[in-house]
Amino acid sequence: MDQAVREIVTWLDDGTPLSCSADSSRHTLEAIVACHVSHARRGAWTDLPLSGNEREIEVHTG
């Protein structure tokens, strides 16, 4: 997370390209959310892409 924030700030300051594409970042976040969805379902398989209410889940860090 620290690296991601550092890259975003650098991009905002001087336009330095990010190390990952936006699509790649979105796919990574979706996989992380899917792990949380699966856990809430007691380990049930979770298909990607997420759909419905699953797309509204927030993941809190820290």
Distance separating alpha carbons of residues 4 and 50, to the nearest angstrom? 23
- Answer whether residue 5 shows pLDDT above 90: no
Is 36 among the domain residues? Answer: yes
The contacts of residue 29 (CB under 8 Å, 6+ apart) are 59
Domain count across the chain: 1
CA angle 19, 23, 24 (to 5 degrees): 50
- The whole-number pLDDT of residue 9 equals 92
Is 3 among the domain residues? Answer: no
14-57 residue pLDDT tens: 998 888 888 888 898 899 999 999 999 999 999 999 999 999 98
Is 51 among the domain residues? Answer: yes
Domain that holds residue 61: 21-62
Is 11 among the domain residues? Answer: no
